[in-house]
C-alpha cells in the first residue's frame, strides 16, 4: 500500500476516533445527569483539621438551579462541640471515596444527644 494511502487512512481513523471519544464523553455526561439526583445513606463529614465524623446524609440536587447546585442534611452519629464550631472548609465523603465541598448553614438540636446539620454543596455533587 502506498505511503500516501496509509497516511490518509491514519488521518481518517484519528478523526473518527476523536468523534467517537467526543460522543462517548457526551453520553457519559448525559448519563451522569440522569443517574442519581438524590443520596441518602452513610457519610463522613471531614472537618478542616482532617477529623472525620461518621453519620447519615440526605442530599439532593437543586433542579431549578441546575445540577451543580446541591445540598441537604447531615446527622452525625455522635454530636460534639467540634461540630457546633465548624468553619467553611468542610467536605462530605460518601461511600467509594466520593467527596464534595460543603458549608454548614444551620445546626439544630434534635434530641439531648443528636444534632441535624443543614448543608449547602460547593461545586459538583459527589453523587
What does the domain layout of the chain look like in residue ranges? 1-35, 37-122
Beta bridge mates, 75: 56
- Judged on CB neighbours under 10 Å (0-12, 13-18, 19+), 22 is exposed
SS3 81: helix
User: Confidence class of residue 90 from pLDDT cuts 50, 70 and 90?
Assistant: very high
Instruction: Return the percentage of the chain with pLDDT > 90, whole number.
Output: 39
Question: Helix, strand, or coil here: 7?
Answer: helix
Contact between 125 and 70 under an 8 Å Cβ cutoff? The reply is: yes
Distance CA 115, CA 53 (A): 13
pTM (whole model) above 0.75: no
pLDDT band at 35 (very low <50, low <70, confident <90, very high): very low
Scan for cell 445527569, then name that residue.
33
Amino acid at each position: 500500500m502506498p505511503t500516501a494511502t496509509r497516511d490518509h487512512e491514519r488521518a481518517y481513523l484519528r478523526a473518527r476516533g476523536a468523534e467517537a471519544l467526543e460522543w462517548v464523553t457526551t453520553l457519559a455526561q448525559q448519563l451522569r445527569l440522569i443517574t442519581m439526583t438524590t443520596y441518602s445513606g452513610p457519610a463522613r463529614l471531614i472537618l478542616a483539621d482532617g477529623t472525620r465524623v461518621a453519620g447519615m446524609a440526605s442530599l439532593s440536587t437543586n433542579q431549578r438551579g441546575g445540577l451543580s447546585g446541591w445540598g441537604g442534611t447531615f446527622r452525625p452519629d455522635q454530636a460534639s462541640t467540634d461540630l457546633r464550631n465548624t468553619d467553611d472548609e468542610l467536605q462530605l465523603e460518601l461511600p467509594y471515596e466520593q467527596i464534595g465541598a460543603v458549608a454548614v448553614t444551620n445546626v439544630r438540636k434534635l434530641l439531648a444527644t443528636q444534632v441535624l446539620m443543614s448543608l449547602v454543596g460547593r461545586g459538583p455533587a459527589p453523587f
